[in-house]
Amino acid sequence: YGPSYVRQIAPYVAGKPISEVAREFGLDEARIVKLASNENPLGMPESAKAALARAAAELGRYPDANAFELKAALAARYGVPAEWITLGNGSNDILEIAAHAFVEKGQSVVYSQYSFAVYALATQGLGARAIVVPAVNHGHDLDAMLAAIEADTRLVFIANPNNPTGTFIEGPALEAFLEKVPKGVAVVLDEAYTEYLAVDRRYDSIAWVRRYPNLVVSRTFSKAFGLAGLRVGFAIAQPELTDLLNRLRQPFNVNSMAQAAAIAALGDTAFLERTAELNAAGYHRLTEAFDKLGLEYVPSFGNFVLVRVGNDDGAGSRVNLALLKQGVIVRPVGNYGLPQWLRVTIGLPEENEAFIAALENSLAQA
Ligand code: PMP
């Protein structure tokens, strides 16, 4: 059944859930450490829990299809009109809606090698042509991406910071790129990890949205805001593109629990600060351990690190299995063409220690 371009899609590989690993390896769930999906190790903010309890009383009703209150809160926070916002069932939804809104079957989409897997899924699901530009130092090569744009290119995906590599493009380079992208080519700038950037790395992508009518900035509540299970993402773009996105968006794509929790989390700056501090300390600890073990890693600007665990193409799977047996779940990235590497999410201090100890064991066995 179905078109050949759908049959050719390689399914998305998500982090293994704790319950599955517990069953498969005969482990106690409480002992398992999951550092596989770039979730916030602090979990959900308390402010969001209270909002959820209130929203639960109204679950007999449909959600607000236009998410008036959440959009108003986002508009106030980011300084844009509510008409510039599109909500998604996670930012994955935004990425897919954008592909459908801007690209026809047979036209092309440009993205980087080693960039987030959903760009390929969204492109292939349309029967569009992917132009995958080779990475440089595991990150985006913006000059090559510009050069790769063809007459039928309608969309460019950029992740900054990128997942799974953690690489970062500095603001001025990105701005120079946006300046040169031809009219008629939309750019989705996926900033899922932007809240983790150190203050001196931040740039004002919302100001770029005002300047570039082809730019869509995509953000999520799944990472620093701690709401991955609720599935809320959003896009900010000028009205012409936002109107297209909203035509395709399913009317109730963000449920009422998610809307309520997102409003609470958005205002919880103390939680965001704690998250960023914990992440910076954890990054320091993990990379110190990698240095000590003589392991290469890609300097990361997100809440995860890509580390090379061996020099043969079996290394990632082998070390991953050894970690699983010790109750540590990380993410193999062979599907990204990185079979010698593993991606580990930065966890709580005790989770990082458990991972480091298990990694040392795994390497000794390997
Ligand atoms: N973009 C990037 C770069 C990501 O890493 C992720 C999460 N894996 C997403 C988007 C999607 O996250 P969500 O759908 O939970 O918002």
- Asked, colleague to colleague, whether 4-43+270-365 and 46-268 share their fold, the answer is no
**For residue 112, what pLDDT is reported?**
98
13 pLDDT higher than 80? yes
User: What are the extents of the domains in the chain?
Assistant: 4-43+270-365, 46-268
Q: Rounded to an integer, what distance in angstroms lies between the CA atom of residue 275 and that of residue 285?
A: 15
Q: Are 78 and 195 in contact (CB under 8 A)?
A: no
271 pLDDT higher than 90? yes
**For residue 366, what pLDDT is reported?**
64
**For residue 51, what pLDDT is reported?**
95
Q: What's the number of CA atoms in the CB half-sphere (13 Å) around residue 196?
A: 34
Is 3.40.640.10 the CATH classification of the domain at 46-268? yes
Nearest CA to ligand 1 atom 3: 163
Q: For a pocket test of ligand 1, which of 163, 304, 331 has the largest count of ligand atoms closer than 8 A to its C-beta? A: 163
Nearest CA to ligand 1 atom 2: 192
Distance 114 CA to ligand 1 centre (A): 14
Ligand 1 binding pocket, CB closer than 6 Å? 38, 90-92, 116, 159, 163, 190, 192, 220, 222, 228, 233
- If DSSP codes are grouped into helix, strand and coil, which group holds residue 276? helix
In the chain, at which residue ranges do the beta strands (DSSP E only) sit?
33-34, 85-88, 108-112, 129-133, 153-159, 186-190, 215-220, 233-236, 297-298, 304-308, 328-329, 331-332, 341-345
**For residue 171, what pLDDT is reported?**
98
Q: Rounded to an integer, what distance in angstroms lies between the CA atom of residue 162 and that of residue 20?
A: 28
**Spacing of C-alpha 298 from chain mean position:** 17
ipTM above 0.85, yes or no: yes
Looking at residue 241, its amino acid is: L
What residues are paired with 306 via a beta bridge? Answer: 298, 343
50 pLDDT higher than 70? yes
- 94-111 per-position pLDDT tens digit: 999 999 999 999 999 999
- If DSSP codes are grouped into helix, strand and coil, which group holds residue 293? helix
**For residue 327, what pLDDT is reported?**
97
Percentage of the chain beyond pLDDT 70 is 100
Q: For a pocket test of ligand 1, which of 92, 157, 218 has the largest count of ligand atoms closer than 8 A to its C-beta? A: 92
**For residue 278, what pLDDT is reported?**
98
Q: Rounded to an integer, what distance in angstroms lies between the CA atom of residue 224 and that of residue 48?
A: 13
- 190-230 per-position pLDDT tens digit: 999 999 999 999 999 999 999 999 999 999 999 999 999 99
CATH topology assigned to domain 4-43+270-365:
Aspartate Aminotransferase, domain 1 (3.90.1150)
Q: Rounded to an integer, what distance in angstroms lies between the CA atom of residue 92 and that of residue 214?
A: 19
- 144-175 per-position pLDDT tens digit: 999 999 999 999 999 999 999 999 999 999 99
**For residue 268, what pLDDT is reported?**
96
- What is the per-residue DSSP string for 192-214? TTGGGS-GGG---HHHHHHH-TT
Average pLDDT, the chain: 97
Nearest CA to ligand 1 atom 12: 91
Distance 365 CA to ligand 1 centre (A): 33
Distance 276 CA to ligand 1 centre (A): 18
